[in-house]
Amino acid sequence: MRDGAVNLGGRTIWSGANFSLEPGTVTAVLGPNGAGKSTLLNVILGLAPLSEGSLEVLGASPHRGNRAVGLLAQSRHADELSTITARDYVGLGYDGPRFGWRRDKTKDEVVARALAMTGTTSFADRPLRTLSGGQRQRAALAHATVFEPRLLLLDEPLAGLDLTAQAEIVDLIHLIRTTTGAGVLVVAHDLNPLAPLVDQVLWIARRQVRSGAINDVVNEEVLSDLYGHPIEIIVTPRGRRVIVGLEEEFAHPHPHGHDHSNELAHEHLGDLYTDPSA
Amino acid sequence: MSLHELVALSFVQHAFYAVTAVALAAGAVGYFVVLRRQAFAAHAIGHVGFAGAAGAVWLGLSPVVGLLAFCVGAGLLIGLGGAKLDDRDAVVGVTLTAALGLGVLFISLYSGYANATYSILFGQILGVSWGDVGLVALLSLLVVVAVSVIYRPLLFVSIDAQSAASRGLSARKLSLAFLLLLAVTTVVAIQVVGVLLVFSLLVAPAAAAEVITNRPLRALALSSALALASAWLGLFFGVWLGGPVSFWITALSSVSYLAARLVNARREHRARCVVA
């Protein structure tokens, strides 16, 4: 994308977007709630237009229905209720957009391959609503990758998962990008579980999109600036870096957050201090 | 009169063809009503149809004309006004109540209402003419063909609207198309079971089918089959034993849902025992 900007209803969502995604790499999109992360996905999908600048998606202008772009959507409202099986859901990724009755002979084979790659096969014939969060996310990844897309967009793929499931999905994303060579764009609010995978970070703050290598972005100064409140990075004894302070952003979003440091301090106290008389 | 003679009566044959066509259409559309959880919209469209039929009777027209105009209008209104899931209930509710008010007005204006009102509310399939059968069959066929054409995309947007949008499908257009099909289906179903009992063909068989199978195509076919069985048996019992046909259809389709739930509960219980 070159000098990309988006206006919606006369308001600039963000501007100054300059970045490119390389095949086989993972790019994380960070930013406070409401910063326009989903808008960025919609622009790439051809669902929202750029008001300035230009964008090339896999050598063409973005257009709807591009099979070479796969999407794992954030909220699939039918998940909790849906009686359809994981296999049928993946099948919809294959021929769901097609009107009429014609059926492809290759469909079953392609669907089975996507199920196998994502480790979904063993529970493929169970209804989505009986699956665990991690299993559903595997099925959703199979759905998104049924055509082995060259660009894979993941909207909050780890939201609502426990730590084990998060680690499994991170491994699976790694597997997909190495086996298919797809470029992956992940919208995430917590960078920690994804950090080992991420090559590049796009961050959206104050209506600007900036990009950088993960090591340039993951420092306290940049992240604190990005979220408008203090963020700390702790290095564990084994050398892992953990970002602290983002949890509050999502538990209590402060879209215009300037000076909430006192409030945050209280929240921290609340976590650590339990009144013995209570 | 023997059963053989009863079945040979022309009005019974008219009814047979009409319920067959209607049940197939209602079963298929009903699957999506249940899947998309739009029972309230289906309910409202039927009641709006009541106002249309009452208005048509008052103007001296065939009730079907009023039904078609009002049901399709309600489908459009709900589809265009309630595109966002959040305000859908409010739009449906207001449409419903406004139309019922109109219906009351039309009834009060028309002096000889009792009979016409009764048949709109509770159905009077044994009174249909050949002309009605032709219209009902044509509209039902239209619905069945349309559902078979939009089946996969409609299923896709119902299950995962965002992914479907990214693949080029418009949830808004498909939702509107579905509501129009629902409106036409409601019109034909009202001919058989009336406004108040429309769910006996539109919701109960589909709900039973969804309990029995997880596969969309099978559920759709099963829903139509159950609607058809309820309609045929209901007509048969109504003619043979007496009592309103719409009562029999409602009773049978409700029992089929209950039976499906019981069978499913036993199946799940057994599955749990095997695991334990």
Q: Mean of the per-residue pLDDT values for chain B?
A: 89
pLDDT above 80 (res B158): yes
Domain B3-275 homologous superfamily, CATH: ABC transporter involved in vitamin B12 uptake, BtuC (1.10.3470.10)
Smallest CA-to-CA distance from A1 within A58, A48, A47 is with: A58
Which domains are assigned to chain A? Answer: 2-217 (3.40.50.300)
Q: Could you tell me which chain A residue has the CA closest to the CA of B209?
A: A83
* Alpha carbon distance A202, A213 (integer Å): 9
Shortest CA gap B46–chain A (Å): 26
List, run by run, the mean pLDDT of 10-residue segments along chain A (278 residues): 80 85 91 84 90 86 88 73 88 92 89 94 92 92 94 92 92 94 90 88 85 79 76 78 66 44 37 37
Q: What is the dihedral of CA A9, A13, A17, A22, to 10 degrees?
A: -100
pLDDT at position B112: 65
Statement: residue B205 has pLDDT above 90: yes
Q: Which residues contact B237 (CB under 8 A, 6 or more apart)?
A: B243, B245, B248
Nearest to A99 among B153, B163, B164 (CB): B153
Which site among B163, B210, B211, B223 would you substitute to test the A interface, given the most A Cβ atoms closer than 10 Å to its Cβ? B163
Question: Is residue A68 less than 8 Å (CB to CB) from chain B?
Answer: no
Can you tell me the ipTM of this complex?
A: 0.86
d(CA A103, CA B190): 35
What's residue A246's pLDDT? 65
Query: pLDDT-derived band of residue B86, with 50, 70 and 90 as boundaries?
Result: low
Q: Are strands A151-155 and A69-72 parallel, antiparallel or unpaired?
A: parallel
Q: Which residue in chain B is spatially nearest to A84 when comparing CA positions?
A: B214
Mutate to test the interface with A, among B85, B152, B157, B212 (most CBs of A within 10 A): B152
Residue contact B167–A76, C-beta within 8 A: no
Q: How far is B261 from chain A (nearest CA, A)?
A: 14
Question: Can you give the residue ranges of every domain in chain B?
Answer: 3-275
Q: In this predicted model, which residue has the larger pLDDT, B183 or B273?
A: B183
Contact A88 B215 (CB under 8 A): yes
Contacts with B150 from chain A: Cβ below 8 Å: 99
DSSP A6-41: EEETTEEEEEEE-----TT-EEEEE--TTSSHHHHH
Mean pLDDT score, B179-195: 93
Query: Which of A78, A82, A96 minimises the CB distance to B167?
Result: A96
CB A98 to CB B37 under 8 A? no
The pLDDT value given to residue A262: 41
List the structure tokens of B83.
């595109």
Q: Which residue does chain B place closest to A66, by CA atoms?
A: B167
The fraction of chain B above a pLDDT of 90, given in percent, is 56
First to last CA, chain A: 55
Q: Is the pLDDT of residue B253 over 80?
A: yes
Nearest residue of A to residue B147 by CA position? A100
Q: What is the pLDDT of residue A73?
A: 87
**pLDDT at position A259, please?**
41
- Say if the Cβ atoms of B163 and A93 lie within 8 Å: yes
Nearest to A157 by CA among A29, A4, A62, A263: A29
Say whether B149 and A71 touch across the interface (CB within 8 A): no
Kindly list the residues from chain A whose CB atom is less than 8 angstroms away from the CB atom of residue B212: none
Q: Contact A127/B211 with Cβ under 8 angstroms? A: no
pLDDT for residue B128: 79
A69 contacts chain B (CB < 8 A)? yes
Model's pTM, two decimal places? 0.86
For residue A205, the distance in angstroms to the closest alpha carbon of chain B comes to 25
Cα separations (Å) of B117 from B25, B52, B60, B105, B175? 25, 11, 14, 13, 31
A130 interfacial to chain B (CB closer than 8 Å):
no
Q: Region B141-151: what's the mean pLDDT?
A: 96
As a whole number of angstroms, the distance between CA A59 and CA A86 comes to 32
Alpha helices in B160-193 (DSSP H): 161-166, 171-193
- Asked if A54 and A2 touch (Cβ cutoff 8 Å), the reply is yes
Q: In this complex, which of A72, A78, A98 lies closest to B158 when CB atoms are compared?
A: A78
Strand partners, A176: none
Look at the alpha carbons of B106, B110, B114, B116 in this order and tell me if their dihedral is positive or negative: negative
B151: Cα separation from own chain's centroid = 17
Among the partner-chain residues A64, A73, A100, the one whose CB lies closest to the CB of B160 is: A73
Residue of chain B with shortest Cα separation from A130? B214
Across-strand partners of A232?
Answer: A244
pLDDT attached to residue A87: 94
Query: What count of CB pairs under 8 Å joins A to B?
Result: 91
Q: Are B23 and B224 in contact (CB under 8 A)?
A: yes
